[in-house]
Structure 1
Amino acid sequence: MTERFSAREAVALVSDDFSELRAPMRHFKPDGPISWEGYDDSRARAGDRTGEVESAVCGTATIGDTPAVLIVFEFGFLGGSLGERTGDRLEAAYFHAREHRLPVVSLVATGGSRMQEGMLALTQLQRVARQSALTREAGLAQIAVACDPATGGGWATLGAGADVTLALPGAQLGFAGSRVRPPGADPSAYTAEAQLAAGAVDAVVPTAELRETLALWLRLLTRPSAEAEAGAKAEAGAKAEAAPVPPGPVQPAPVPPALGALDLPATGWEAVQRARSPQRPRAAAYLDAYFTRRATISGDRCGGTDDGMLCGFGLAHDGGSIRSIAYAAQCGTPTRPAGYRTAARLIRLAGRLGIPVLTLVDTPGAANDAEAERQGVGAAIADLFAAVATARTPVTTLVIGEGGSGGALALAAHGNTWATPDSYFSVIAPELAAAILKRAPEQVRSTADQLRVRPQDLLQLGVVRGIAQAP
């Protein structure tokens, strides 16, 4: 079990300049809205014990160098449970965030909805969900940190509903709290580490690294939209002061330079062999060369992860400036359904926040085993095709290795795909094409030539815009 912190201790972990927002305080009749006997006494004892008047503390804070709205739960106040007054505070915090164009960071430590307020407490989840949705539509980032414990409706709205979800090591994490789980339930399934493995959490962050990690994420997710708005406002002139100005156009991510071979393959089969070579630079090498710093998102929020699809946001040099760019990169393995869903999640998040996307294609194709079919690989690929096709911000694609059929094409931008000299793209693998055509094994090489899979063939056919050059 991880260490538990009071709300004020949690604030001190991430910021030194917290300023609490004025909180509405609705009047309750004796023992609350449903006259739960002893409720007034329970709240009084909770206040004496914690020094708080409710289970959530809300305010503004600077984390790193980014101002944000901070929502922090006090678990010592009736288990951090949500009641009507908690809902009032959270709603006011979200309203302040939208009014002042600030991201929202939530440190979630809650056992769920407050029983002493009955269904009125449960309906606070609808209020929170609405405020979160409105903030998302406004293009503002939401980051949650699951502290100990993070369960019930608080987890299902503020935690699991955030754009990026982090967790402290060993934290109890899940929709079901420890006292309502089925008899015999494996307690290890309700941990931060288990939720990370299941694709519900992006990272488990040691307490000592939390401030720096949040500062990086806020830098990655907030500065691009702020800069775009500032640029549009400057172009609009004095009239911009009287009314909000929509963000200016987002420029595409620059094409990464080729890191491997620079000469072009003579034959289709040579292109295939070069792309399959273990010595060829892979996605991690391209990402390390492209970004000065980066942070990963993990998981499809549907129970799965795929180590063969790297997704996240990074800081990259573009001309004379450094800006945030989202990335989704295949690692040369068959892509699992969770990989496609995570990439679609990334592209939609980048679109909401005004951040361009870079995708790196490198896969022999989609995973086609029985488990992949049970996990909905076809639907996952379809969803990624849709996410790329409807992306709100530009998508730049570089094929860095194998481009195997629709499992690779789903990640590629129409009209803005490039290729490295040691890559290929094909409607199907040459070996499979030969098998379907009932050709002898020795005809695989000539089949590769017929398919016209070389980078220069792809350029001539108009499939790619260009061939990446040396740095």
Structure 2
Amino acid sequence: MSEAPDGGRLPARSAIAAVTGRFTEHRPPGAPETGDGPLGWEGYGRSRARAAGRTGEEESVLYGTAEVDGRACVLAAFEFGFLGGSLGRRTGDRLEAAYALAEERRLPLVSLVATGGSRMQEGMIALIQLQRVAGASARLRAAGLPQIAVLRDPSTGGGWATLGAGADVVLAVPGAQIGFAGSRVRPADADPYAYTAEGQFEAGQVDAVVAPELLRPTLGRWLAALTVTGPARPAPVPGALSPAGLPETGWDAVEQARAPERPRAGAYLDAYFEDRLPLHGDRCGGTDPGMLCGVGIRDGRPVAYAAQCGTATRPAGYRTAARVIRLADRLGLPVLTLIDTPGAANDAEAERAGAGPAIAEVFAAVASARVPVTSLVIGEGGSGGALALAAPGNTHVTADSYFSVIAPELAAAILKRGPDEVRATAGQLRLRPQDLVDLGVARSVVGPAGEPAP
């Protein structure tokens, strides 16, 4: 989708045709730009005329309603052949109208971005179009409607910093140039990989790099996952995947939770969902492979999820989880969290990356969520790093899990006890699944079907 057969960039209408066979173009109010524009830039009118002649378009963006794999949306596509897909005031008119159309029709907005940034020939008039786009995006967000961006080649400047990075889901085509700084203005010694789709994915700024032939079905899946009908119902509690019985002692509970063969988050998510779409990265330059986040389909209904994988959770993992919970709350999706961590990462790098503030973000996201949150402890529940993902009043546990104020070894150290007292400390902490139910911390110990175990 990023490149045409002749080596040029794919025209907007070809990009649209690649993702939908049903597109109805709309026209914004107002006349096209005339003359040499708001600055009287000599030759600007002739440049626009040549661009229109080459592309057949009046401006660098076209928009309208569409169906992608049977899912209705508003689609906006950039025409890079029209002055590098740059944003001028008439581009702003069209983008603002596209957002307004999505809000009016209660439809998701899909943007096929390919732009070099703001239009030099319109100066500050071009630059302030970013404020218009940001305002329109904020209104659509407040209306509870999703935004999906597909980053084509290139996606730079204000187009990346508004429609692209501001979307709820960010997809990119392989090899696309992506970055706030375009190729002509970035430092000469800059690492070129950082400005690619793949580099931005590694940095947690892009959710997925999608091959052109998979864009249509991928967009269809995302539109299905982000489309909500009716009030959010609580996500059902997942069934336990392990045959383990209830532990006799606190230390038995710890050993069961730490067993290498115990089912992990990936197995639970695969068993729970019919389809799963990951959301990747914290949008602050970080990723954590120990936190799986995204939206899945269960019994035909979307559920957002954040799942710890048994490792010490890093700040980027918490920020990604908070991002997903906030998105679910805005769109009206129920949330499922799976808890499994010995605790938050506590090395110097984690502290520099803001471990405390990141955990606070998750606590706040869960506490303020208007949608129901369901939590299941599937392994280790280590201290506040685990509790941050737990839903107050709706947390359940498996038989091979524990939840503790801190790991028993660390509790013993804090209490100035020797290594030979760790097992006894585990018992005193009352961290077994059945203890957690008795204490009112957990609602139930779940069985194979998600029901309370006998």
Indicate the TM-score class for this superposition, using the shorter chain for normalisation.
Answer: over 0.9
Shift of 1:182: 1.1
CA-to-aligned-CA distance 1:370-427 (integer Å, 9 cap, x gap): 1000000000001110000001211000000000000000011000000000000000
Residue 299 of structure 1, aligned match among 266, 281, 294: 281
Task: Give SS of 2:337's match.
Answer: strand
Give the secondary structure class of the aligned counterpart of 2:22: coil
| Residue 329 (structure 1) aligned to one of 294, 302, 307 | 307
Map of 1:169-208 to 2, 5 A cutoff? 169-208=174-213
Among 289, 294, 310, the alignment partner of 1:312 is: 294
Instruction: State which drifts further: 211-220 or 260-269.
Output: 260-269
> Structure 2 regions of 5+ residues with no counterpart?
4-8, 450-454
Match of 1:117 among 115, 119, 122: 122
1:160-309 alignment, distance < 5 Å: 160-222=165-227, 224=228, 227-228=229-230, 249-309=231-291
Corresponding residue for residue 428 of structure 1: 406
> Secondary structure of 2:287's match?
coil
Deviations 1:165-201 (A, max 9, x none): 0000010000000000012111111000010011110
For the residues of structure 2 that align with 1:61 and 1:118, how far apart are their CA atoms? 33
Code of the residue aligned with 2:331 in structure 1: it is L
- Of 364, 370, 375, which residue of structure 1 is paired with 2:342? 364
TM-score, structure 1 as length reference: 0.93
Give SS of 2:150's match: strand
Change (3 A) 1:101 1:189: same
In the alignment, which residue of structure 1 is the partner of 2:62?
Answer: 57
Pairwise CA distance, 1:261: 2.7
User: Which piece of structure 1 moves more, 25-34 or 351-360?
Assistant: 25-34
Query: 1:24: Cα distance to partner?
Result: 2.7
Structure 1 Cα separation of the partners of residues 167 and 362 of structure 2: 20
Q: SS at 1:346's partner residue?
A: helix
2:388 to 403, 410, 417: 410
TM-aligned CA deviation for residue 303 of structure 1: 0.5
**AA in 2 matched with 1:260:** S
Corresponding position of 2:163 = 158
Distance 1:263 1:433 in 2: 25
Q: What CA distance in whole angstroms lies between the structure 2 residues aligned with 1:279 and 1:28?
A: 66
Please tell me whether the aligned partners of residues 34 and 45 of structure 2 are also in contact (alpha carbons under 8 angstroms): no
Secondary structure, in 3 states, of the residue corresponding to 1:467? coil
**1:186-236 CA-partner distances (Å, limit 9, x unpaired):** 1111000010011110000000100000000000001x2xx21xxxxxxxx
How far apart are the structure 2 equivalents of 1:363 and 1:2? Answer: 40
Name the structure 2 match of 1:104: 109
Cα pair 2:276 2:296 within 8 Å, conserved: yes
Q: 1:18 aligns to what SS in structure 2?
A: strand
Summarize the alignment of residues 11-50 of structure 1 with structure 2, pairs less than 5 Å apart: 11-26=16-31, 28=33, 30-50=35-55
Q: Secondary structure at the match of 1:87?
A: helix
Instruction: Using the TM superposition, give the Cα deviation of residue 2 of structure 1 relative to its aligned residue in structure 2, in angstroms.
Output: 4.9
Shift of 1:440: 1.6
**Separation in 1, partners of 2:247, 2:446:** 14
Look up the equivalent residue of 2:160 and give its one-letter code. W
Q: Distance in 1 between matches of 2:2 and 2:45?
A: 31
What CA deviation, in whole Å up to 9, does each residue of 1:244-299 have, x standing for no partner? Answer: xxxxx421100001001341000000000000011000000000000000100001
Between the aligned residues of both structures, percent identity stands at: 69
Residue identity in the other structure for 2:272: Y
Alpha-carbon separation, structure 1, partners of 2:191 and 2:408: 47
Q: What is the deviation of 1:470?
A: 1.3
Contact 2:66–2:72 (CA under 8 A) maintained in structure 1: yes
Q: How many pairs does the alignment contain?
A: 444
Q: Does structure 2 retain, via aligned residues, the 8 Å contact 1:167–1:204?
A: yes
Q: 1:459 matched to which residue of 2?
A: 437
Q: Deviations over 1:90-110 (max 9, x none)?
A: 111111111110100000000
Matched, 1:148 2:153: yes
Structure-2-length-normalised TM-score: 0.97
1:27, CA displacement in angstroms?
5.5
Counterpart Cα distance in 1 of 2:316 and 2:151: 22
Specify the code of the residue in structure 1 equivalent to 2:390.
A
Written as runs of structure 1 = structure 2, the 5 A alignment for 1:75-90 is 75-90=80-95
Summarize the alignment of residues 396-407 of structure 1 with structure 2, pairs less than 5 Å apart.
396-407=374-385
Distance 1:125 1:274 in 2: 54
Q: CA RMSD in A?
A: 1.0
Equivalent pair of 1:299/1:305 in contact (CA under 8 Å): yes
Q: Greater shift after overlay, 20-29 or 71-80?
A: 20-29
- The one-letter code of the counterpart of 1:81 is S
Q: In the alignment, residue 291 of structure 2 is paired with which amino acid?
A: M
Q: Give yes or no for contact 2:179–2:196 (8 Å, CA) kept in 1.
A: yes
SS in 1 for 2:222: helix
Note if contact 1:384-1:410 (Cα within 8 Å) is conserved in structure 2.
yes
Once superposed, which parts of structure 1, at least 4 consecutive aligned residues long, lie more than 4 Å away? none
CA distance in 1: counterparts of 2:182 and 2:121, whole angstroms: 17
Q: Which residue of 1 aligns with 2:452?
A: none
Measured after TM superposition, the shift of residue 307 of structure 1 is: 0.4
CA contact (8 A) 2:32 2:90 kept: no
Letter in 1 for 2:225: L
Hey, what's the Cα distance between the residues in 2 that align with 1:197 and 1:112?
Answer: 23
What SS class does the counterpart of residue 49 from structure 1 fall into? helix
Q: Are the aligned partners of 1:262 and 1:469 in contact in 2 as well (CA < 8 Å)?
A: no
* CA distance in structure 1 between the partners assigned to 2:427 and 2:420 by the alignment: 13
Out of 374, 380, 383, the position equivalent to 2:358 is: 380
Whole-Å separation in 2 of the counterparts to 1:6 and 1:108 = 11
Give 1:5 deviation, angstroms. Answer: 1.0
Counterpart position of 1:234: none
Which SS does the other structure have where 2:343 is aligned? coil
Cα distance, 1:118 vs. partner? 0.7
